[in-house]
Amino acid sequence: MNQQEEFLNAYIAAALWSTNDESTEEGGYPLDENYDETDLAEETRQSMKEDCEKFFHAHYDDIEENVSQAGHDFWLTRNGHGAGFWCHEEYWTDEVGKRLTKACEKWGEVYLYVGDGKIYE
């Protein structure tokens, strides 16, 4: 697996782990309990791949040593979760964490949902 695939796989894993399926009144279960990357609708996977490729190439100099963590943090940061580039000091210096966090602002949030047995954005 190359670094770009590693980044995308970590991004997808974070998306599935941090998104609930809304199957109950309480919000349901994390998608990764009942779904995996093979359940992504083709257009969702393509959109994720395109976003990840663009971010990966634009910020490679900052993420090259921690590609997997960068994929994970890209999902968390762009979606406003309580963790991300700014708080993982073991991977990012303060300067790099702030720079990558700021870079995520232009990406906006992405919401996943389950429909027809597939996961969509």
> Strand, helix or coil at 24?
coil
Give ∠ CA 57-30-101 in degrees, rounded to 5. Answer: 30
Task: Please give the chain's pLDDT, 121 residues, in tens.
Answer: 799 999 999 999 999 999 999 888 888 999 999 999 999 999 999 999 999 999 999 999 999 999 999 999 999 999 998 899 999 889 999 999 999 999 999 999 999 999 999 999 9
The terminus-to-terminus CA distance of the chain in angstroms comes to 25
pTM: 0.95
